Chains A and B, each alone.
Chain A
C-alpha cells in the first residue's frame, strides 16, 4: 500500500492560510488585506500597493524555508512569482492557489497559539516573544493552562507575560488576542489556532502574518465549513482510501506485507508492534471497530486483496461492544465468497468468543488462541518477513 504524500499526509481539517485568515478576520483579528489568485494573469486585475508578499497556499509546515513565500516589488515580479509557485510542489503538495498580500513591515515577530492539550484538560495559550521560523529551535513558549474557555483570566496571562514581554502595550494586545482566539476555538470547533508570526508594527499594532487553524473533524455535524473541508479532502484521496473513510474505517496506509484488519486503536497498534518485532511489516493501520458490519469487513478485504504488496491477511479482533459470533459469521461468508487466494489468519476473541470460535471451526477455519500465535502464523505464510 503506497504511503500518501502531499496533501493526503496532512489532517483533512487543517485549513489553508487564506481560509484561516478569513476565520481570524471574522472574529476581529487584524490580518493583511490580501487577494487569492490561481494564475499569474489574475494579478493584473488586483489593486495592490507594492511591495507584496506572494504566498503558496499549501499545508506543508516548512513553506517559508522551501521558498513558498516570495517578496515582489512590482506587478511583473508578482506575476512571475505566482507562475513559479503554482508550478512548484511543497513536500509533494501542489498549491491550489496563491495569496498576494501587501508586504507588512514588522518591528518584530511574536508567536501566539491556542491549542487543545490533554494535560490542561482543555485549551492552553502559548506565547513566545520570538516568533517566526525561530520558534522551532528557540526556548519553549510561555504557557498558560486555561482548561475550559470560561476559565480564561486576563490577569493570569498578564502575570505570565510580564516576565518575558517588556512592552505593556504588546502584552495587552496579546491578552486581547488570546481571548479572541479562545472564543474562536470554542465556538467554531478549532483544536489549534496558531499565529506565527504575529507581527508587531511600529505603532504597536498586532497583525496576523500567517494562520494555521486545525478544525475538529468530529464537529462536522454542527459546522458546515468543517463538513466541507472533509468532503474536499476526500475528493483528493485515492479511491480505496476514500471508500474506507466514507465507511467509517480508520485507515493509515503503510508499506508492509501483512494486511492487518483489526478493531480498536490500541489493539491495532499492539498487533502492528508484534508484527514489527517478528521482523515483518504491517501493510496498514486498519481499525474496523467503528463499522463492524459485513460491508465494513468486506471493504477491508477488498482493499487488502487488491494491494499487490499484501501477502497475507491477518484478522485480529478483541471485541467488547462488537459481538464476535456475528463477526465470525461475516468472516465465514467473506472467505466462502472470495476468489483471491491470499492466505487469511484469524484471531477472534472478546464478547461471545466461544461461539465465534465454534463458527470458524465448523467452517474449517482456524482461530488462534493468542495474538502472538496469529502473528507467527501470518509471518510464516508471508514468507518470514524481509
Chain B
C-alpha cells in the first residue's frame, strides 16, 4: 500500500510535448511508472518518448484507461486543463506549477472534491510512492520504499529530507508535496488522514514552515486516540515577521504563524518536532528506532 499512487496507477501527462512533459515521460517511465498517454490539444496521433499523444484527456482515458494525470501547462491554462482531467474521470490530478492565481486553486480544489477525486498542488514537485511509481519531478535517488509517510509544503526540502531518511535506512511509503500555496488540493489534514488509513505507513513525517495553519491540524491529529507516531520539521526560525518568504503561504502575520508557536504546539501534542533540518532524523529515530 501507499497513498494516492501505486504501481497500478496509469498516468497521462497533459502537455507532454513541452520540455517538462518530455522530461517526465522519460523520467517516470525509467522509474517504472506506467505512463500510458500524453495529451496536447490538436496534436493527437503523435508519439513522445514512445507514449501515444491524444488531443483530449477524454480520448486518452477512453483509449488507455489512464486514471492519474500530471499537468504541465502554464498558469493561464491550468484551470482548464485540471477541469478537463476531472471531467474525463481522472481520479488523481497533480498540478506542479507555481504562480497560479489563488481563485483558480480554489476552483480546482472544489471541482476535485465535488467528484470525489484528489487534486495535488499547486506549487509542488508532485508525489512518489518509492519503488512503485512517481508522479512529479523529484530526483528519484533520494527515495526508497518503506514505512514513513512524508508530507511536505516545500519541494526541495522534501528531496533533502527524503535523502536523509533514505541514507538513514528509513524508507518511505509515499512522499507527497502538498504545495507551498495557501489553498491546496490535498491539504495537510487530508494527507495525514490518508496516511493514517494506510497499513504500510508506520509513522508520519511532516515538513512545514512558518505561516498558515496546517501544523495545527497536524497537532490535532497527533493528540487524537490511536494516532500514528508523528515527527515534524518547521523551517523559518531565522525569517523575520511580516515578510513573505518565497512561498505565498510562508508569512508570519500573527503569533500563531511563527516558528516558536508552531514548535510549541506540535510538542504539546507529542509530535517529535525538529527546529532545524539537522534535528529531524534523530527526532524520528526517537519514535521509530532504526526503521
Interface residues, chain A, CB within 8 Å of chain B?
Answer: 3, 9, 11, 116-119, 121-123, 147-151, 185-186, 189, 191, 216, 218-219, 221-222, 250, 252, 254, 263-270, 272-277, 281-282, 285, 287, 289-290, 317-321, 349-351, 353, 371-372
Q: Considering the chains assembled together, what is the distance between the CA atoms of A121 and B163 in angstroms? A: 31
- B146 part of interface (Cβ distance < 8 Å): no
Contacting pair B153 A277 (CB below 8 A): no
Q: Considering the chains assembled together, what is the distance between the CA atoms of A266 and B100 in angstroms? A: 18
Q: Which residues of A contact B95 (CB under 8 A)?
A: none
Q: Considering the chains assembled together, what is the distance between the CA atoms of A289 and B123 in angstroms? A: 12
Contacting pair B237 A276 (CB below 8 A): yes
Contacting pair A266 B98 (CB below 8 A): no
Contacting pair B244 A11 (CB below 8 A): yes
Chain-A contact segment, one of B7-15, B37-45, B52-60, B101-109: B101-109
A250 to chain B, nearest CB (A): 4
Contacting pair B235 A266 (CB below 8 A): yes
Supply 19 further A-B pairs (C-beta < 8 A) apart from A219-B101, A265-B245: A116-B182, A118-B183, A118-B184, A121-B106, A151-B110, A186-B103, A218-B75, A252-B244, A265-B154, A265-B180, A265-B209, A266-B156, A269-B235, A269-B239, A269-B245, A273-B276, A285-B245, A318-B156, A319-B139
Chain B 8-36 against A: per-residue CB contact (8 Å), 1 yes, 0 no? 00000000000010010000000000000
Number of interface residues of B (CB under 8 A): 64
Q: Do A265 and B246 contact each other (CB < 8 Å), given the known contacts A270-B235, A318-B159, A320-B137?
A: yes
Q: Which residues of A contact B210 (CB under 8 A)?
A: 269
Q: Considering the chains assembled together, what is the distance between the CA atoms of A349 and B159 in angstroms? A: 9
Contacting pair B99 A285 (CB below 8 A): no
Contacting pair B276 A250 (CB below 8 A): no
Contacting pair B243 A252 (CB below 8 A): yes
Most buried by B among A3, A266, A290: A266
Q: Considering the chains assembled together, what is the distance between the CA atoms of A69 and B157 in angstroms? A: 46
Contacting pair B156 A189 (CB below 8 A): no
Q: Which residues of A contact B207 (CB under 8 A)?
A: 266
Q: Please, could you name 26 A-B residue pairs with CB atoms under 8 Å apart, sorted by A?
A: A9-B242, A118-B184, A123-B106, A150-B110, A185-B103, A216-B101, A218-B248, A221-B75, A250-B246, A252-B244, A252-B245, A264-B156, A265-B247, A266-B247, A267-B160, A269-B236, A270-B157, A276-B238, A285-B243, A285-B246, A287-B246, A318-B156, A320-B125, A320-B136, A320-B159, A349-B160
- B90 part of interface (Cβ distance < 8 Å): no
